[in-house]
Structure 1
Amino acid sequence: MPRFRRLITTLALTAALAAGLAACGDAASTPAAGAGGRLAVVATTTQVADFARNIGGDHVTVTQILKPNIDPHDYEPTPADITAIGAAKVVVKSGVGLEKWLDETIASAGFKGATVDASTGVPIRQGNGEEDQAAGDPHIWHNPRNAKVMAQNIEQAFAAADPPDAAVYERNLAAYSAKLDQLDADIQAKIGKLPAGDRKLVTNHDAFGYYIDRYRLEFVGSIIPSFDTSAELSAHDVDDIVAKIKQTGTKAVFSESSLPPKTAEAIARQAGVKVVAGEDALYGDTLGPEGSAGDTYLKMEEHNTDVIVQALGG
């Protein structure tokens, strides 16, 4: 990808200049030391950044690269990203090939710390179509059991990078894991109230497979038939999903917060069903902005479940 490599080269030059300027200043004030001596962490996605904050508490400083409602599938790093990575002690990534840009960015930044792949140990769903991501389905966070594994991987990385505070990270993990267990139980109870024949899901793209598998919903299809939102949508794809909605008696089409709702709205009209969009849109690829119904992982999954149950059960 020549455009990407040109961008990385530009970012590398920017990072080198920034590093040179930082070297002339007070080393204690650089992000590597972290604010107040805290562990300096860079987290790629909104989800792993939220996990990192819960595990690290006030013993870490987390720089989050992807902002809320920014599609992670087609992201390009900025000079600020490469500078932050170069100064960090730990980089946390979601994994499963989601951050296609990260390896070259880390190399360009001259990063010398630890990189933790939060997906390590998570059972990965594989795709069926040509457009599916070769590494598998990267949307692993939509099963709270997977989120527990991700949080544990982060805790282990923090403890290794900052041994004096290892006990703190262990306690924080235990507290957060209990919340994830409660979330899992709550979702099961809510979905369990839906009639089995109404548990049919149509979304913008194939982002909810782990959720569907965990809570035994039926995946009718997605508007973009791929794990990746950058996949091309054909007229045949549109006709196919409209036909499936009609054939299965699916009640709604769910838009996603990080994607434009127009196609979902058009397909819902053709199929004669309601579209769920706007403030009720599902949080698929990212958390929501601060103050929204999905500004933390726990709130995101609770919001998604409440919207799904209301739309399919109403």
Structure 2
Amino acid sequence: MRRLLGAAAVIAVATTLTACAGGDDGDDRPHIVVTTNILGDVVANTVGDAARVTTLMRPNADPHSFEISAREAAMMRDADLLVSNGLGLEEGLQRHLDKAAEAGVETYVAGEQIDVLDYSDGEAEGTPDPHFWADPARMRDVVDGLEAAAADIDGIDDQLVEQAAAAYQAELENLDQEMTDSFASIPEQHRSLVTNHHVFGYLADRFGFRVVGAVIPGGTTLAAPSAADLRDLSEAIEQADVPTIFAESSQPDRLIQVLADEAGVDVDVSELFTESLTEKGQGADTYLTMMRANTERITSGLSEPTD
């Protein structure tokens, strides 16, 4: 019998957007604009009070396809620093990122600061995987580079940046250790991951999991599975004796239905927060709470014996 683990739904809220003109009375701190909400949280924690941070992507949005207004595009071009994920993640935003860079805006591309992995299978095989935040060690590399980029902004208090970044690095180090300890409890034969699309390659690489497959074969939610993809996934699930499949919090029902009706697979499905933060109090309102929630659900789901 299929079970749905975790929160039944995750409700998105709008991330507060700083007005590009007249909306920051008396606030003359440098302005950092960030594309995704996961990075937005990381940036805010890294720079602390040294800068004001605007995040463009609303909670629970899809980083592959979210769009922005003309006012927000202008904000990008006026930023003191523009921070993006890179590696092809922000597909719907790329033209605005390119225009801002052409206009001379200082940019920080997080994906350029890490040891990049390529997708190992599916339609995206051989192309860079942009989902590096699943590995807290790589996120520490991102914070290192971000601290340096922020300190170079004209007029910023680099001592405030240094203090905030050091405190956040300590939290990331604690997170890494918590994840290491938790995953160590999963039996070796159950350390296999199946998701609705490829988002955990970096987690698997860092913590010794096997990525069995994904319902959506590409690295983006804009792709779609074929009947052959589903048959192959069904066989892989059965061969690996996978007890739980993990779905993004916004799409668990769709995943269950696809597997049950088209692939003939009957397994537990656990919701994870993969590509977006949530509203406060809804389970993943910061990068740290998101990763801790996912760690608990992965550990619980893969530690359960199969029937």
| TM-score, with structure 2 as normaliser | 0.85
Letter of the structure 1 residue corresponding to residue 248 of structure 2:
E
The farther-off stretch of 248-257 and 76-85 is 76-85
Query: Alignment partner of 2:60: what SS?
Result: coil
Give the aligned partner of residue 271 of structure 1: 265
What is the CA–CA distance in structure 1 between the aligned matches of 2:23 and 2:93, rounded to whole Å?
22
> Is contact 2:51–2:156 with CA below 8 Å preserved after alignment?
no
Relative to structure 1, the CA distance from residue 35 to residue 117 in structure 2 (aligned partners, 3 Å threshold; closer, same or farther) is farther
Q: 2:53 aligns with which of 53, 59, 62?
A: 62
> Is contact 1:40–1:89 with CA below 8 Å preserved after alignment?
yes
Superposed, 1:42-191 pairs within 5 Å as 42-106=33-97, 108=99, 111-129=103-121, 131-132=123-124, 135-162=127-154, 164-191=156-183
1:73 deviation in Å? 1.2
What is the CA–CA distance in structure 1 between the aligned matches of 2:139 and 2:287, rounded to whole Å?
9
> Is contact 1:223–1:264 with CA below 8 Å preserved after alignment?
no
Bigger-Rg structure (1/2): 1
Query: Alignment partner of 2:112: what SS?
Result: coil
Deviation by residue 1:265-293 (Cα, 9 ceiling, x = unmatched): 441672221111xxxx2111112222221
1:287 maps to 2:277: yes
> Is contact 2:190–2:242 with CA below 8 Å preserved after alignment?
yes
Give the aligned partner of residue 300 of structure 1: 290
Deviation by residue 1:219-249 (Cα, 9 ceiling, x = unmatched): 1111111211111210111111111111111
What is the CA–CA distance in structure 2 between the aligned matches of 1:273 and 1:103, rounded to whole Å?
38
> Is contact 2:30–2:156 with CA below 8 Å preserved after alignment?
no
Deviation by residue 1:119-146 (Cα, 9 ceiling, x = unmatched): 2231111124462176500001110011
What is the CA–CA distance in structure 2 between the aligned matches of 1:69 and 1:45, rounded to whole Å?
10
Give the aligned partner of residue 195 of structure 2: 203
Query: Alignment partner of 1:72: what SS?
Result: coil
Query: Alignment partner of 2:152: what SS?
Result: helix
Query: Alignment partner of 1:126: what SS?
Result: coil
What is the CA–CA distance in structure 2 between the aligned matches of 1:130 and 1:252, rounded to whole Å?
21
What is the CA–CA distance in structure 1 between the aligned matches of 2:97 and 2:198, rounded to whole Å?
29
Superposed, 1:239-254 pairs within 5 Å as 239-254=231-246
1:39 deviation in Å? 1.4
Give the aligned partner of residue 12 of structure 1: none
Letter of the structure 2 residue corresponding to residue 275 of structure 1:
V
Q: How many percent identity over aligned positions?
A: 32
What is the CA–CA distance in structure 2 between the aligned matches of 1:107 and 1:274, rounded to whole Å?
42
Relative to structure 1, the CA distance from residue 154 to residue 198 in structure 2 (aligned partners, 3 Å threshold; closer, same or farther) is same
Relative to structure 1, the CA distance from residue 111 to residue 35 in structure 2 (aligned partners, 3 Å threshold; closer, same or farther) is farther
Letter of the structure 2 residue corresponding to residue 300 of structure 1:
M
The farther-off stretch of 190-199 and 76-85 is 76-85
What is the CA–CA distance in structure 1 between the aligned matches of 2:269 and 2:284, rounded to whole Å?
19
Aligned alpha-carbon RMSD (Å): 2.3
Which structure carries more relative contact order (alpha carbon 8 Å, separation 6+)?
2
> Is contact 2:29–2:156 with CA below 8 Å preserved after alignment?
no
Structure with the bigger percentage of helix:
1
What is the CA–CA distance in structure 2 between the aligned matches of 1:265 and 1:253, rounded to whole Å?
13
The farther-off stretch of 125-134 and 77-86 is 125-134
Letter of the structure 1 residue corresponding to residue 265 of structure 2:
A
The gaps in structure 2 that reach 5 residues or longer are: 1-18
> Is contact 1:90–1:116 with CA below 8 Å preserved after alignment?
yes
